Structure 1
């Protein structure tokens, strides 16, 4: 684009649509990082928020929110993202402790696990996302002189296309155990794209591999349109999550994996709120009621 500076070009990946939700999660992680009872630490998160004009005035500490934790967006919903970060951090750390040395982040967004988690030195983290998102992230990390703790391989492809060839070309070994995360991704994708993604993960994994992903069970997402979570997100920062979620029928990805021999378990976020004694609990007209966190393991035949 004529007249576009490198920084303007970089921010295009996260300045609107689903890309903007990556900044929402980054702001939530920043708020979580600064809590006295933090569940997860991401010291890079607030720098992503401050680097993007679309969210330069968003809070990065709960003390910057007039009503604090009573705010349905920057209180309860942000705490949800902090809890999700911790749960998936723990899942990943257990997976590499069990022998996986390849980590694949599907829709990596502004994930910094390669920089902040104590992963084994021989681990490789593949980050799959659109080129604009990865470029913005790299610029911010470079400005902070951030160095990954393990080998990190950006994979600039759109998950709505054929991404497996690029992943393997960049060094992913389908014959070695791997750990996969799809954090806050699948409900933005059309059902057939989700099915293709799950099929591809199954095809590219060997025994001992694991996958964690988030799903929504509601048949009618609009039933929760007036929930405080969605309303506050629309009104305070202009993100209509229900407009971004794909409205078509969702596949039963957990069931599909089970049918292929994977062992799966499904949990509500509230299960982990009770485990950690921090995070959201059920409330009336709750947009989080249908959210499920699925953990799958591909056993030895």
Structure 2
């Protein structure tokens, strides 16, 4: 069970969920029709030395107690591909708008600082637990990021704005923020505090992208399929005990709208289909519980 002062390494608790995301990114990268390429994901997962994570990464589960229907109907895999694509495109749009300051909250095993193209002068701040960032540094030793990447080793329940400023964050510059796979691991009040700090630190023209799973809307059969796929790989993560309840938080779409930011949404199924990926009906049903959104802080001449 979660506590207010819990911490974790990459193979523990919330840290282990970052391995799951990297495993799916590695699997997608190996497909001939991959919608994105993350050559660092396999290296990050492989650095753990776990047969289970390697099996999930290579898709070696079919025929080992997990049927093709289980894999095709595992909505979480499709959601992770969709949200990776969505946030990759989010950063591309932010760069086209001239934003050169990037902050990735709870960066986990995100390798965008290495794998995406960044214009000269781009600064990328990655915030996460010290043990998680230390693991990533060891796993990617010798690899050079494509931008000025700055680690901010801190728990987001601590005074992370000060730590961010100490690393060279510029208050007067527009920022592209990312909170990927983060909010459900925070209690509702901590989510509000985090978003309030983002608003306070954001110059006009800043953007915030995030995702959120309304797990309460997910049918039991999809939770069971998720458990089955993970268990067959020998991975036992009780996500329900890592998440904080949806009911105890404000919908971030409404929260940013109330703060007069411009909110746009992305639909995971539509996004994949628009990029030519067929989404099985079994997966579509579970994907409806997932939010993808971007909020933009207006400049002085923007119209609300």
TM range (shorter): 0.7 to 0.9
Aligned residues: 287
- Listed one character per residue, the Cα deviations across residues 192-246 of structure 1 (whole Å, up to 9, x for unaligned) are 1110111011000011111110123355668567442344335542122222111
Unmatched tracts of structure 1, length 5 or more: 1-11
Unmatched tracts of structure 2, length 5 or more: 1-7
2:3 maps to what in 1? none
Whether the 8 Å CA contact 2:118–2:147 is kept in 1: the answer is yes
CA 1:102–1:73 in 2, change beyond 3 Å: closer, same or farther?
farther
CA 1:163–1:231 in 2, change beyond 3 Å: closer, same or farther?
same
Distance (whole Å) between structure 2 residues aligned to residue 284 and residue 278 of structure 1:
12
* Runs of 4+ in structure 1 over 2 Å off: 53-62, 64-80, 216-227, 229-236, 279-289
- Among residues 146, 149, 160, which one is paired with 2:146 in the alignment? 149
1:3 maps to what in 2? none
RMSD of Structure 2 on Structure 1 (CA): 2.4
CA 1:279–1:187 in 2, change beyond 3 Å: closer, same or farther?
farther
Higher RCO (C-alpha 8 Å, min separation 6): 2
- Listed one character per residue, the Cα deviations across residues 254-298 of structure 1 (whole Å, up to 9, x for unaligned) are 212111110002233112122112264553894432111011111
- Listed one character per residue, the Cα deviations across residues 118-143 of structure 1 (whole Å, up to 9, x for unaligned) are 0111100000000000000000000x
Q: Give secondary structure in 1 for the equivalent of 2:55.
A: coil
Output aligned runs, 1:112-123, within 5 Å. 112-123=111-122
2:264 maps to what in 1? 265
Whether the 8 Å CA contact 2:70–2:225 is kept in 1: the answer is no
- Among residues 233, 242, 245, which one is paired with 1:244 in the alignment? 242
TM-score (norm 1): 0.87
- Among residues 32, 35, 40, which one is paired with 1:39 in the alignment? 35
Task: Return 172-181 or 272-281, whichever deviates more.
Answer: 272-281
1:192 maps to what in 2? 189
Whether the 8 Å CA contact 1:80–1:280 is kept in 2: the answer is no
Check if 1:208 corresponds to 2:215.
Answer: no
